[in-house]
Structure 1
Amino acid sequence: MHVVITGGTGLVGKALTEKLRSLDHSVSILTRNVQNKQNENNLHYIEWLSDNKPEQELKNVDAIVNLAGASISSRWTKKHKARIKNSRIQATRECIRLMENLPDGPPNVFVSASAMGYYGISETEAFTEDSAPANQNFLQEVSERWEQEAKPAEELGVRTVYGRFGLILDPSEGALPKMILPYKLGAGGPIGNGKQWYSWVHRDDVAAFIIHAQEQAHVEGVYNVTAPNPERMRDFGKKIATTLNRPHWLPTPAFAVRTALGEMSALVVNGQKVIPARTQESGFRFHYEKAEEALADLFGKDESS
C-alpha cells in the first residue's frame, strides 16, 4: 500500500511508519518542515499546510492516516488550548481537501485520530463506542469537533475510521515520562484519591490497530484504541513501582497537581474506564493486554538499576 501520514514524526506516527515499512508498504509523511529530513526507499517527506499543493506529489494513495495536532502535554494556557483545537481542525480539513484533489481519486480508507476524552470523566461508569459524549470538558469538546471535521470523507465514499486513543504508553514521549519521574526519584505514589481510571494502550498496539483498520474492509466507524484492561491510578502506579523497583508510597493531593499543571491536570487527576468493545469484535487482538506487560516491554529490567 501507499500510506500517507500526517503527524508522522510524532509518537504514534513514528511507530506506525516503522511498522508499515517493515511490511514493505510505501509511506509519505506530510510535514510542515522537510528540511533535515532524508527521503529513503519507500519513505518520502512532503511539505504541507503551506502554499504548496502536496496532492501533486501523491500518486496512487491507498490510505490516509491523520495524526496531526499540537501536543496536549504542554500547559493549557488560553493560547495553547486554541492551538490544540485549531491544529486538529486545520489538519483534518486539509486531509479532506487532499482527498478531493488527489490525481488518482480518493483513498480507500481514512483513519482519523480522536481521543477517549470524547466520553468525559467518571470513576464508576464504563464507556464503549456506543456511549454518548458527556459535554464536560475541553478534551471532550476537542474530540467531538475533531471527528465532525473528518465526516466529509464518508460523503466522498471513503471508508472512514475514527480511532479514540487512550493514554498512549511510550518511554520517552507523552504522559508516561512525567508519571514515572516521581518513582525514579523515590517519591512515587497515588495521585488524588487514586480511584480514577487510566485507560492506557501501548504505542505499538496503536500502530497495529491502524494497520488493521487499513487492511480490514469491514472496519468502519468509531473504535476505542485502549487496552482491554484499564487500571485505577493506584494500581497502575503500583505496577510502575514494581517495574522500576521503586517505592509506591507518597500520595500527591489533587489540588497540588491542579496548582502545578493548571487545567492540564485533567490528564492525570481525572479519568475514564474505556472498553474497546468494537475494536475486539473487529478481530483485532492487543499484544499488550495487561499494564505490567506493557511497562515491562517499555522499560525492561535495566530501568531498576
Structure 2
Amino acid sequence: MHILLTGGTGLIGRKLCQHWVGQGHRLTVLSRQPGQVKQLCGASVRGVAQLEEVGDETVDAVVNLAGAPIADRPWTARRRALLWSSRITLTEGLLAWLESRTQRPEVLISGSAVGWYGDGGERELSETSQPVKEDFASHLCIAWEETALRAEALGIRVVLVRTGLVLASQGGFLKRLTLPFKLGLGGPIGSGRQWMPWVHIDDQIALIDFLLHQTQCRGPYNACAPEPVRNREFARQLGHALHRPAFLPLPSLLLKAGLGELSGLLLGGQRARPVALQAAGFNFRYRELSAALTELSRRL
C-alpha cells in the first residue's frame, strides 16, 4: 500500500512511519523540510515539498496530521492565523489536489482533537455528542473536520481522529511535564477536577492503523483510552510513576494571566470515551492510566 502523510515528521507521524514501513507499506511524507524526512521517519520514506511531486503514482491512502502545535504559545492573532492555515488551509490544498487526480485514494484519515467538544465539564462525551462550549480550539477542530469531510464528495472514505492527550516518552504533553515533576514541582492544574482524555502512543498508532484497514469505519472517532481521569488523579499517578511528590498546584489565575485564552485548554477538559472505536472492535492495550505511566516511566 502507498500511504501519503502530512505531518509525518511529528510525534505521531514518525511512529506511524516506523509501524507501516515495518509492515512493508510505501510511505511518502509531505514536509516543509523534505530533506529531513529520511532521518526522522526512516531511510525508505520519501519526502516531498509539494503534492505535485507525487505525480501520477497510485496513492492508496492519505493520512492528514499536519498542524502547528496548539499549546506551545499564547494565541496571539498571528498564532491563531498560523494554527488555522497549518490545518484548514493545508487541508483545502490537499482536497484541491485530490480533486485534480484521476486516481484517488480509498481513504482519507484526517486529524482532529477532543477539543472539538470544547470544555465538556462533567458530561460524558461520545462521538454522537455535540460541542458543549465552543472556543477557539473548538472552532478550529470543527472547521478542520468540515474541510476534510468534503472529500466524501470525491468518493473517498473519510475518517476523523479526535485525539486526546498522547502519552509518549519521546515528546508531547508528558515529556513537558517530566522535568517539573522530577524536581518535585509537579501537581494539579487549577482545581484539578477537569477531565483528561489520554491515550498511550502505542494505542494511538494501533487505532489509526485499525481505522485505515476497517473499510466500514468512517466519520469521527474519539482517540482516547476508555477511562479518562481527573487532572488531580493524573498528577498523583504521574508522581507515583516517577517516585516524586505531586502536591504543588498551578493556580488558575497565574495560568490565565500568562496564557490568556490558551489557559482554557489546561483548565478545561473532556470526559470523552471511545464509544465508536470500541463498537467497531478496537481493543486498547492500555486501558488504565497506571499501566500506561508505568510502561512509559522506564524511558522518561
Q: Structure 1-normalised TM-score?
A: 0.92
Match runs of 1:19-30 below 5 Å: 19-30=19-30
Is the CA contact (8 Å cut-off) linking 2:119 and 2:133 kept in structure 1? no
Is the CA contact (8 Å cut-off) linking 1:135 and 1:141 kept in structure 2? no
Is the CA contact (8 Å cut-off) linking 1:134 and 1:140 kept in structure 2? no
1:80 aligns with 2:79: yes
CA distance in 2, matches of 1:179, 1:36: 27
CA distance in 2, matches of 1:202, 1:98: 33
What residue is the counterpart of 2:247 in the other structure?
249
CA distance in 2, matches of 1:263, 1:54: 39
Gaps of 5+ in 1: none
1:208 aligns with 2:234: no
Displacement of 1:33:
1.7
Amino acid at match of 1:15: K
Evaluate the alpha carbon distance shift between residue 195 and residue 248 of structure 1 in structure 2; reply closer, same or farther with a 3 A threshold: same
Write the deviation string for residues 119-160 of structure 1: whole angstroms up to 9, x where unpaired.
Answer: 111331111000012352111000000011112210011111
Q: Alignment partner of 2:187: what SS?
A: coil
Amino acid at match of 2:271: K
1:43 aligns with 2:42: no
What residue is the counterpart of 1:15 in the other structure?
15
Match runs of 1:1-305 below 5 Å: 1-38=1-38, 42-48=44-50, 53-56=52-55, 59-75=57-73, 76-103=75-102, 105-300=103-298, 303=300
Amino acid at match of 2:239: A
Displacement of 1:166:
0.6
Q: Alignment partner of 1:19: what SS?
A: helix
Displacement of 1:171:
2.4
Task: After superposing the two structures, state which structure 1 stretch, 92-101 or 136-145, moved more.
Answer: 92-101
Q: Alignment partner of 1:110: what SS?
A: strand
Amino acid at match of 2:160: Y
Q: Structure 2-normalised TM-score?
A: 0.94
CA distance in 2, matches of 1:152, 1:136: 22
Amino acid at match of 1:10: G
Percent identity for Structure 1 against Structure 2: 37
Is the CA contact (8 Å cut-off) linking 1:5 and 1:28 kept in structure 2? yes
Q: Which stretches of structure 1, 4 residues or longer, exceed 6 Å deviation after superposition?
A: none
Is the CA contact (8 Å cut-off) linking 2:37 and 2:45 kept in structure 1? no
Amino acid at match of 1:100: E
Task: After superposing the two structures, state which structure 1 stretch, 261-270 or 203-212, moved more.
Answer: 261-270
Task: After superposing the two structures, state which structure 1 stretch, 242-251 or 39-48, moved more.
Answer: 39-48
Q: Alignment partner of 1:179: what SS?
A: helix
Amino acid at match of 1:9: T
Displacement of 1:102:
3.3
Is the CA contact (8 Å cut-off) linking 1:240 and 1:295 kept in structure 2? yes
